[in-house]
Amino acid sequence: MASLAWALEENTRLFYESLAGMRPGTGEAELFMKLVEAEEHHKGTLASMHQRLSDKGVERFHREQTVPVLEGGVLMEEALAWAGDKPSRKILAASMGFEANAYDRYLKMVHLSEDEDAKEVFRAIAKEEKGHLKKLGELLDKETGKEG
């Protein structure tokens, strides 16, 4: 579970980094770069836990992927192509969907894991994903208010 989560976090990190580059100098870019940092933190936490529980590298799912996939099974290439000409509110809404999927996945991992330390890690990351949802929602509210 930790290896899969690590791969999804890495792909999401790459996605947010690309989005920040597509909209330099905006509030969105700043938020996306903060999310990049958060995904790096999640990867580190997952790698530490995985190292304690397994003798296999945490990066294995990421290395084995032929095409990067985001939360919810969305292909990164398609998501970035879609985001290219979309207004900010649509990109923020899609990003909220990815974060909601991540939050849900970590809650499921809490219930599926038999290791209490792993459960605690998954709970902590779920809480952070919920915070990401809140920040994206606040920015989306600002964007929607501009249009209204």
Instruction: Name the CATH code of domain 2-147 (choices 3.40.50.2300, 3.30.2090.10, 3.90.1560.10, 1.20.1260.10).
Output: 1.20.1260.10
pLDDT tens-digit series, residues 100-118: 999 999 999 999 999 898 8
pLDDT tens-digit series, residues 54-104: 766 666 655 666 678 888 889 999 999 999 888 888 999 999 999 999 999
Question: How much is the pLDDT for 59?
Answer: 66
Name the residue ranges covered by the structural domains of the chain.
2-147
Q: Within 13 Å and on the Cβ side, how many CA atoms surround 92?
A: 23
Report the alpha-carbon distance of residue 93 to residue 9 in Å, rounded. Answer: 18
- The token duo for 139 is 């920015």
Report the alpha-carbon distance of residue 129 to residue 96 in Å, rounded. Answer: 10
